[in-house]
Amino acid sequence: MRHGWQRLRSILVFAVALTAAACSRAPQEPAKPDSGVRVWPQPAPSETAPSPPLVAAARAQIGVTRYYDPAYVQLAYPGGDVANDRGVCTDVVIRALRTQGLDLQQAVHEDMRANFASYPTIWRASATDRNIDHRRVPNLRRWFERQRWTQPVSDSAADYRPGDLVTWELRSGVPHIGIVSDRKSWDRQRPLMLHNIARGTQEDDVLFDYPITGHYRPVLRSGEATAAR
């Protein structure tokens, strides 16, 4: 009987220890909303056709930018950025274009300062804010339009080239942006998109998952890009 009680006690102690271990995990990042994004196995990079520079720059963010974090942050200027392990959808585009010599923070700020009335007023701002203006999709859309980057919005995947920029309106009404990849969906019917919707920078099959609100093709000619410093 004594041995039986000791055995039962040992079992209870072990069970309590397991419960304690399960409840003492290391602190985690705040939970992210389920985006509903369909993630397909990623194909291996082509050994014969290197990716366009803008696409390669966006893909290089995968595994580096791991969190979606919309917090307002005071940024350096020009070339200011949040911590590279986090950001929002616009940061994927901002970081990729900086590798090509275009600093959207400076370009958008300077254009807004000179043409403030041409930009959206949905935030009721009375002046420019170089910490956040370039990180807002509606402002980027207006700047792209003013650069004559606009392309037709189409329901044909063939009309979207690698390196193009696409904007959407998510089901929640929130605007979103991504870069067209040179890789295809599992059925080869659609280009994948490089974006950050809730899980950091990813490459997903989402081109036609949401209503497309804009389609843009960057033109980065010498002398037009504002070099990041």
- Could you tell me if residue 37 is inside a domain? no
Least confident segment among 32-46, 103-117, 122-136, 196-210: 32-46
Q: What CATH number did the domain enclosing 112 receive? A: 3.90.1720
CB-CB contact of 57 with 96 (8 Å): yes
- Could you tell me if residue 29 is inside a domain? no
Domain span holding position 185:
48-216
* Choice between 229 and 208, residue whose per-residue pLDDT is larger: 208
- Could you tell me if residue 223 is inside a domain? no
DSSP conformational letter for 158: G
- Could you tell me if residue 8 is inside a domain? no
Average pLDDT over every residue of 130-134: 98
pLDDT at 55 over 60: yes
Q: Using pLDDT thresholds of 50, 70 and 90, give the confidence band for residue 49.
A: confident
Enumerate residues 6+ apart whose C-beta is below 8 A from 157: 189, 190, 191, 207, 208
- Could you tell me if residue 6 is inside a domain? no
Distance CA 169, CA 211 (A): 6
Distance CA 140, CA 153 (A): 16
Q: What does the pLDDT read at residue 25?
A: 30
CB-CB contact of 210 with 203 (8 Å): no
194-228 per-position pLDDT tens digit:
999 999 999 999 999 999 999 999 998 654 443 33
Q: From the centroid of its chain, how far is CA 119?
A: 22
Buried b (16+ CB within 10 A) or exposed e, 134-167: bbbbbbbbbbbeebebebeeeeeeeebebbbbbb
Number of domains in the chain: 1
Q: From the centroid of its chain, how far is CA 18?
A: 39
Q: What are phi and psi of 57, to 5 degrees?
A: -65, -35
Spatial CA neighbour of 168 closest among 180, 184, 182: 180
Residue located via tokens 């958008």: 108
- Could you tell me if residue 35 is inside a domain? no
Average pLDDT over every residue of 52-56: 97
Average pLDDT over every residue of 176-194: 97
Q: What does the pLDDT read at residue 67?
A: 98
CB-CB contact of 148 with 220 (8 Å): no
69-114 per-position pLDDT tens digit:
999 999 999 999 999 999 999 999 999 999 999 999 999 999 999 9
Spatial CA neighbour of 113 closest among 138, 91, 134: 134
Q: What does the pLDDT read at residue 40?
A: 46
pLDDT at 7 over 70: no
Distance CA 148, CA 48 (A): 32
Q: What does the pLDDT read at residue 179?
A: 98
